[in-house]
Structure 1
Amino acid sequence: MQHFGIDFSSLQKTEMTTAETELDHNTNFDWNRIQESGKEVVPLSGSGYTGLVNLGNSCYLAATMQVVFSTYSFCSRYYKHQSLKAAFDMAPADPTVDLNMQLTKLAHGLLSGKYSVPATKKDNAGDADDTSLTAKQVGVSPRMFKSVIAAKHPEFSTTRQQDALEFFMHFIDQVERINSGNPNFDPSKSFKFGVEERLQCSSGKVAYNRRNDYILSLNIPLHKATNKNELQNFEAEKDAMGKELASNEIVHPRPRVSLMDCLDCFSAPEELNDFYSTALDAKTTAIKTAGLTSFPDYLVLHMRKFVLDSGWVPKKLDVYIDVPDIIDISHMRSKGLQPEEELLPDNASLDDGVKVDADEDIISQLVSMGFNYLHCQKAAINTSNAGVEAATNWLFDHMNDPDIDEPIIKEQKSSLHIDQSKLDTLVSFGIEEEVARKALQATGGDIEKATEWIFNPPPGLSNMETTPSSSGSLVDDALPDGKGKYRLLGFVSHIGTSTHCGHYVAHIYKDGRWVIFNDEKVGVSQDLPIDMGYLYFFERYDD
């Protein structure tokens, strides 16, 4: 260091700022509360209570997979209805690179109970967390599974810490791919649901955009905190006492927001400025609302705790989420196009198949922020040129989509004559006439290829392009659906200031009690940090 002119002997330690002290206190508090440090953890073992060995920053994988294999769909597919021998027999020449084989191995390792063996004192030597040594197991090492699921992925194939949300989405995508030939046995389908966005411009005409998703990502409305008085009093006291207050060993209060308020934010009307209306051929304002076209068997809620601060600096929100055991989201079901509504011109005819051109002003502003030009085009198009803010939000939500780098393809109107008998045949299958017509045009009038085109759209073709927005029934028959009442199954919590550092822990409700899964440590939860979750997993609940 002396070579660079740095002399450590002359350096002096400076006092921590108030902000640094608060951050340090909050991080330590999170670490202790989420891991339940200092609590007498009662160890658990047996079927469904097996720990996962940390391979070095693999806690994001361990926490996520513990919750995934606590669902009936994955437990049934890879454990109850598939033996290790059957998986081996169906595997290709090299089973070590077959995801189906590795998922079956992982399921049997976690759910059989054979490997939930308590670690010996010798195994625990050197562990600093003496309060939970008895809950530590030998566990299962997911090394081969990680190698397969992360193959060819630039991030998950490394030993760096990753975002549990991104891993879950990547995992679900891979599971869907390997089960594409047998969708009836695809466990990822139990998480899938339809989302519909409704846009109404000042002309009164509307547009409907639909997509399928596996995660419901929710903004956190801090302005609806239920403990505003406590927060205001603390800020006033902090201003009066300054650094003296910051130096005290206290946990600084955090905003406390209801989960239902977060869900309401998803459905709440949002005003969009500079919306290009095809009815007016000009920019105007529009009101956007969103709803669900189907309710999945398992609903995953992502809390958007990582936001951009002033100056586009990412930060993590220190906030508590009040999560009830049971939620009812029946009111969030989308109603679809109503008889009195009129569609905007671009959405009135699906035969055109041509998307709205991206607004170059929006693209240039996004590019100046450092975003990829193609990604910016897609963001502008998918937000109907609603503005820079809407496009930016879309980018952050979709920048990890597997098709984000695929080129934008505009389909021109086809002049192919459609055989009415073939059209009638597809309609008799329950397919909407507009979709059937477009499928026949895209496949040269071949009815078999048209059917395949409808149910397995080509890469790069969105669900919106194969599903008419004017359809009377907005629910995709291929998606699971039911009542909108759910019970909390488990949640994954994150400790740290960034998704690329820190630690992940899972808490899961099993056999009438809450259980903590902290890598190899499995035990009865004593102080459930339910209000500190990052991903919440709900299962459908019938009275």
Structure 2
Amino acid sequence: MDPPRANLHKVRIPEPTNRIHKDECCVSFDTPRSEGGLYVDMNSFLGFGREHVAWNFEKSENPVYLHIVQRRKPEPDETDRPLKKPTLLAIGVEGGFGEQEPEYDVTYEIVILPEFLSLPFPSVDLPEKVRLAVDKVILAESADRKQQLASWVADKKIISAHAMDLQQLDNGVIVPPTGWKCSKCDKTENLWLNLTDGMILCGRWVWDGTGGNNHAVEHYQQTKYPLAVKLGTITADLEGADVYSYPEDDSVEDPILAQHLSHFGIDFSSLQKTEMTTAERELDHNTNFDWNRIQESGKDAEPLYGPGYTGLVNLGNRYFEKQSLKAAFAISQADPTLDLNMQMTKLAHGMLSGKYSAPSQEGQEGIRPRMFKSVIAASHPEFSSMRQQDALEFFHHLIGKVDQANPGNHELNPCTGFKFIIEERVQCPSGKVSYNQHCDNFLTLSIPLHEATNKEQLEAFHEKKAAMDLDGKEVSKEEIVRPRVPLEACLASFSGGEEVPEFYSTALNSKTTAIKTTGLKTFPDYLMLQMHVYIDVPDIIDISHMRSNGVQPGEELLPEGASCGNKAEPARPVADEDIVSQLANIGFNYFACQKAAINTSNAGIEEAMNWLLSHTGDPDINEPISQDPMPAEDTIDEASLQTLVSFGFPEDVSRMALKASGGNIERATEWVFSHLEASSSVSADSSTNNVKDDDSNISDGSGRYKLMAFVSHMGTSTHCGHYVAHILKDGRWTIFNDNKVAASVDLPKDMGYLYFFQRISS
């Protein structure tokens, strides 16, 4: 046996539990379709590109590799290929949006290092063990396939638990085949038939003026009748009918829908489709003004290639791109597919090197950061699922993970530049003050709607909409007018004073109304802002006026913890009825208005409106408020507390969130994100609350910033839809829309969800 073949005994036959990485290199984005193909280590089953396979050999001393090469087949004539209409709310998956996957020819060979000796496969000259091992690798499902790929697609409808034993009232209701109208208003579209009592009612109200008046939802809240079907979606093909389960809060399947319809005299076989289903309505967002504007659809944009212009396939959360430049992580000696530092390094190289962004006739293919997603989402129940998540929540999660992977390594931590210290100053009527500090990495700004610059257009729009509502008509998406509020007004609102009712003063030994002002003790290298409503954003901002300088000469601090024993037990918060009634008159659900007032501490109509606009997609937004007693601080479940802390939230904020949400982790997480500006306690138990981070590890400098990037969201909720990023690179704005990278032509700077500013050097 010649020396190279003598190494074949080191080949290992994979077990069913082995992870076979045959789709992509573990330390780069090379694939079998790359010029050099992919080399699969036949002992560890890790895959490596041509540039890195020798490194693996030196590290592992495994000499035998399966070399996989895929080459694209010539495509058939486009005229012979039928155009498929999307049927799924998905991008880049079968049935969704995107191009059809091309076909490839695949070749295999055995390669022995370090000589790179090639042995053909299949070949009868190879030992049986080698042939068996290679066959198993080829036939095995790859590690990537086993992962739940991140995709924008709704889960298959479940059969409702309420369908088979649904009680239908014998009330004599017969539903006509046409001429439907809401039983409580004049709406003639977006109508839902309750399958228990036959009531026809309009659907949910949408904040932009579309949709119904919530009558179907309110009817369920009053009666608890669980199932409704959307009229206009019922045809001879009952599988296409849109059935909604209120207690399950989802579109569902009703196996005996024909029987339920027959109860109300409906002959489904004679009906025609006149309305979009819920999923189709989501799909329709792809053609409305906002989606086309954000994606710059229809513009003759110049494709961009090269370093820093690499697109990501099916991944919207890519806003940390430039900060990856600071990463200089060490190479792990363990499994590189499970190491966060390794996968961050791989991602940074893949995006910034330009290796995977070369011009071609097919356009840029982009990179698929599946291993990165697998590592960053490990053990997280939401991010590891197929469900789309809020980009801001992912960003917060990412920073926490990177911090954990690099404890004490501030210089090499790419997330350090986002951190800053918020300082809150509270002054009670005694004139004494308290200061509280907490560390954060982004600001959520409330929107002062009274500062809108287009008040006349807004008033005209509301008058027109009211008139059309009386006529039973709806305004078109193109006619909708949204408030335009300058960013400067939002920043001023953040740092302006606000009243704190029921504040316990340790100087007065009683509850009183205090005044709280908020500022930044430090200014970060990169300032991230979150917006819930479209605003006007300038290229340059100056937040120097928001600097908080701590205790000033002549100020007297409130006593620490004096007479704490006299503090009354916290009472359940009560909503301000004036705020609730004003919001309800606009069209919001009454229970939702109560929650908005309570969660904004009855601060005012604008604050409550902002809260509502950012929580319209909450599944329980219209549910009555629980009357269960609020848990005391010493009864908070420690496991829940540690779960929130593991998400990266400070312990004191986590405690407040759990108290405010009745101990529910999901609601507590939402509470944190909606109370970032008031997440630190304002009680006078402690005059100064020092942040845990050493101030010396948090950057500080000038308060002048330049807009460098923003992320826009398209969809009815941040937990569904699509994200697009615009980044200022080399003096011009570039749009990153999945794997499509091009020069921006019509910059939608006023339509961002997350904005990123970089400090301007003095």
TM-score scaled by length of structure 1: 0.69
Q: How many angstroms does 1:343 deviate by?
A: 1.4
354, 358, 361: which one aligns with 1:113: 354
Deviations 1:276-319 (A, max 9, x none): 2122222110111100010111000111x1xxxxxxxxxxxxx4
Deviates more, 1:1-10 or 1:365-374: 365-374
Q: Secondary structure at the match of 1:144?
A: helix
Q: Secondary structure at the match of 1:43?
A: coil
598, 601, 626: which one aligns with 1:368: 626
Change (3 A) 1:168 1:249: closer
Confirm or deny: 8 A CA contact 1:355 1:381 kept in the other structure: no
Confirm or deny: 8 A CA contact 1:505 1:517 kept in the other structure: yes
Q: In the alignment, which residue of structure 2 is the partner of 1:234?
A: 461
1:320 aligns with 2:547: no
253, 256, 261: which one aligns with 1:3: 256
Q: Secondary structure at the match of 2:516?
A: strand
> Which residue type is aligned with residue 570 of structure 2?
E
Deviations 1:440-490 (A, max 9, x none): xxxxxxxxxxxxxxxxxxxxxxx63769xxxxxxx9222101110000000
Instruction: Give distance in 1, aligned partners of 2:340 and 2:452.
Output: 44
361, 364, 370: which one aligns with 1:143: 370
Q: Secondary structure at the match of 1:368?
A: coil
Q: Secondary structure at the match of 2:560?
A: helix
1:177 aligns with 2:408: no
Q: Secondary structure at the match of 2:423?
A: strand
Q: In the alignment, which residue of structure 1 is the partner of 2:617?
A: none
Change (3 A) 1:203 1:516: same
Match runs of 1:305-344 below 5 Å? 305=532, 319-344=533-558
Aligned pairs, how many?
A: 421
Q: In the alignment, which residue of structure 1 is the partner of 2:499?
A: 271
Match runs of 1:192-341 below 5 Å? 192-242=419-469, 246=474, 250-303=478-531, 305=532, 319-341=533-555
30, 42, 47: which one aligns with 2:307: 47
Instruction: Give distance in 2, aligned partners of 1:171 and 1:477.
Output: 23
Deviations 1:95-153 (A, max 9, x none): 111100000001110001010134644xxxxxxxxxxxxxx511111000000000001
Deviations 1:35-79 (A, max 9, x none): 11111121000000000111xxx42x2xxx2x31223xx20324x
Instruction: Give distance in 2, aligned partners of 1:168 and 1:263.
Output: 22
Instruction: Give distance in 2, aligned partners of 1:11 and 1:369.
Output: 45
> Which residue type is aligned with residue 325 of structure 1?
D
Q: In the alignment, which residue of structure 1 is the partner of 2:321?
A: 69
Q: Secondary structure at the match of 1:272?
A: strand
Q: In the alignment, which residue of structure 1 is the partner of 2:713?
A: 494
> Which residue type is aligned with residue 157 of structure 1?
S
Deviates more, 1:356-365 or 1:275-284: 356-365
Change (3 A) 1:357 1:106: farther
Instruction: Give distance in 2, aligned partners of 1:288 and 1:505.
Output: 37
Change (3 A) 1:172 1:183: same
Deviates more, 1:112-121 or 1:175-184: 112-121
Change (3 A) 1:281 1:247: closer
Instruction: Give distance in 1, aligned partners of 2:285 and 2:369.
Output: 34
1:398 aligns with 2:664: no
Greater length-normalized contact order (CA 8 Å, ≥ 6 residues apart): 1
Q: How many angstroms does 1:339 deviate by?
A: 2.2
1:529 aligns with 2:748: yes
Match runs of 1:159-174 below 5 Å? 159-174=386-401
Instruction: Give distance in 1, aligned partners of 2:629 and 2:744.
Output: 43
Change (3 A) 1:380 1:176: closer
- Greater Rg, structure 1 or structure 2? 2
Change (3 A) 1:2 1:183: closer
Instruction: Give distance in 2, aligned partners of 1:175 and 1:105.
Output: 14
Deviates more, 1:489-498 or 1:273-282: 273-282
1:517 aligns with 2:736: yes
Q: In the alignment, which residue of structure 2 is the partner of 1:315?
A: none
Instruction: Give distance in 1, aligned partners of 2:565 and 2:697.
Output: 25
Q: In the alignment, which residue of structure 2 is the partner of 1:102?
A: 343
- Percent sequence identity is 56
TM-score scaled by length of structure 2: 0.50
Deviates more, 1:111-120 or 1:210-219: 111-120
Q: In the alignment, which residue of structure 2 is the partner of 1:37?
A: 297
Deviations 1:394-433 (A, max 9, x none): 97452699xxxxxx9xxx99xxxxxxxxxxxxxxxxxxxx
Confirm or deny: 8 A CA contact 1:297 1:480 kept in the other structure: yes
Q: Secondary structure at the match of 2:696?
A: coil
> Which residue type is aligned with residue 690 of structure 2?
M
1:190 aligns with 2:420: no
Confirm or deny: 8 A CA contact 2:524 2:701 kept in the other structure: yes
> Which residue type is aligned with residue 297 of structure 2?
S
Instruction: Give distance in 1, aligned partners of 2:553 and 2:701.
Output: 25
> Which residue type is aligned with residue 497 of structure 1?
T
Q: Secondary structure at the match of 1:172?
A: helix
Q: Secondary structure at the match of 1:145?
A: helix
Structure having the higher helix fraction is 1
